Structure 1
Amino acid sequence: MVSGGPDAGRAPGAGKEPPPGSVRPTSKRLLVAIAVLGAAIGVTIVQVVESGGGVAPTVSWLSLVAWAFLAALLFAAARNTHQRIQVKRERIEPARAVFLLLIGKASAFVGALCTGVYAGFALSFVDAVSSSGPRNRVIAAGVAAVISVLVVTAGLLLERACRIPEDPDENP
């Protein structure tokens, strides 16, 4: 699980190292870098498709609903896991805890990439926003980027909920 000490969010080598078998919290800088890479990918996709004479892809409203549903599920899982591990101090099966931790980390990484791609799509059409077609694309891609940020946030919360309390033998 993620080590839950006061130094858990500090840079590697700054203070004590987490115990063996623990996982470091996901780096916010890495998530930002992934989002920037995603934005570059999104802008490039639009440019390549349009320079080839094609029509750039649009963001479907159905995909927005799917992303929002995923974010809601992740928030619910994070809350449930936090209640069980942090508040009630219940022990959960190690395989389940690792699964939840991996889902949280993967959601944060994929959400960051998609945030960037959707933001790149939106930025590609901002200059032509006066027309209804590009305006709709900017709105849909912008909403998708915001929902993707929610997926990142929920993934990070789920990851944080998987931290083992400082003294698991101590009952509150």
Structure 2
Amino acid sequence: MVSGGTGPNRAPGAGKEPPRPGSVRPTSRRLLVAIVVLGAAIGWTLVKAIESGGGVAPTVSWLTLVAWSFLAALLFVAARNTHQRIQVRRERVEASRAVFLLLIGKASAFVGALCSGVYAGFALSFLGAVSSSGPRNRVITAGAAAVISVLVVTAGLMLERACRIPDDPDETP
């Protein structure tokens, strides 16, 4: 479980101290940005390497967009339900279930960030030839996939945040 946020006894910069035993630090936004940049470099390099070898770079299908959208929707629903259960109604959740939801949230944020970067790299690599229909379609689908991947990152972070234990554990039933 992720430890609670800032409270009366916690300074805003208290995130630098080591986590309590049994707790997990929130996902670093800087790390996610670094993963997106790394993914963009991988995506751009992959397209250029394939094309320089005489091959045709793969396209992002519309089915990919549907699958990513479905995943984002599931994560948003899970985040909302978990938030309502833990933060609002202050219900107890089995430890194994809470850890599972936390891991799903963190993994979704990391994978979504990497894929968002790769899709953005794909889109950027075709921007030079956007005047013809083939590259234009690749830019549109890869750009849409990058945006939807950012939604997966956002939903994953929301799920991670929803798994935080309320600041005052004595108020929990």
Q: Same fold (TM over 0.5)?
A: yes
| Structure 2 runs not aligned, ≥5 long | none
TM-score, normalised via structure 2 length: 0.93
Separation (CA, whole Å) in 2 of partners of 1:12 and 1:154: 22
Would the aligned equivalents of 1:2 and 1:159 in 2 still touch at CA under 8 Å? Answer: yes
Would the aligned equivalents of 1:8 and 1:25 in 2 still touch at CA under 8 Å? Answer: no
Would the aligned equivalents of 2:41 and 2:117 in 1 still touch at CA under 8 Å? Answer: yes
Instruction: Name the residue aligned to 1:46.
Output: 47
| Structure 1 runs not aligned, ≥5 long | none
Separation (CA, whole Å) in 1 of partners of 2:71 and 2:155: 9
Amino acid at match of 1:37: L
Instruction: Name the residue aligned to 2:100.
Output: 99
Would the aligned equivalents of 2:92 and 2:172 in 1 still touch at CA under 8 Å? Answer: no
Separation (CA, whole Å) in 1 of partners of 2:33 and 2:21: 27
Separation (CA, whole Å) in 2 of partners of 1:73 and 1:170: 30
- Post-superposition shift, 1:5? 2.8
TM-score, normalised via structure 1 length: 0.94
Residue pairs, 1:28-39, within 5 angstroms: 28-39=29-40
Tell me the SS of whatever aligns to 1:56.
coil
Poorly superposed stretches of 4+, deviation over 2 Å: 7-13
Q: Would you say 1:162 and 2:152 are equivalent positions?
A: no
- Post-superposition shift, 1:127? 0.8
Among all aligned residue pairs of Structure 1 and Structure 2, give the percentage whose two residues are the same amino acid.
82
Would the aligned equivalents of 2:2 and 2:23 in 1 still touch at CA under 8 Å? Answer: yes
Instruction: Name the residue aligned to 2:63.
Output: 62
Could you report, residue by residue, the CA deviation over 1:126-167 in whole angstroms, capped at 9, with x for unpaired residues? Answer: 011010000000000000000000000000000000000011
Separation (CA, whole Å) in 2 of partners of 1:9 and 1:41: 36
Amino acid at match of 1:168: P
Would the aligned equivalents of 1:89 and 1:168 in 2 still touch at CA under 8 Å? Answer: no
C-alpha spacing 1:142/1:9, structure 2 compared with 1 (3 Å): farther
Would the aligned equivalents of 2:91 and 2:172 in 1 still touch at CA under 8 Å? Answer: no
- Post-superposition shift, 1:2? 0.4
- Post-superposition shift, 1:12? 5.2
Instruction: Name the residue aligned to 1:79.
Output: 80
Instruction: Name the residue aligned to 2:4.
Output: 4
Separation (CA, whole Å) in 1 of partners of 2:149 and 2:11: 25
Would the aligned equivalents of 1:85 and 1:164 in 2 still touch at CA under 8 Å? Answer: yes
Greater shift in the superposed pair: 114-123 or 162-171: 162-171
Could you report, residue by residue, the CA deviation over 1:4-63 in whole angstroms, capped at 9, with x for unpaired residues? Answer: 1315974753xx543211000000000000000000000011011101111001001001
Separation (CA, whole Å) in 2 of partners of 1:9 and 1:63: 40
Instruction: Name the residue aligned to 1:121.
Output: 122
Could you report, residue by residue, the CA deviation over 1:73-111 in whole angstroms, capped at 9, with x for unpaired residues? Answer: 000000000000000000010000000000000000000
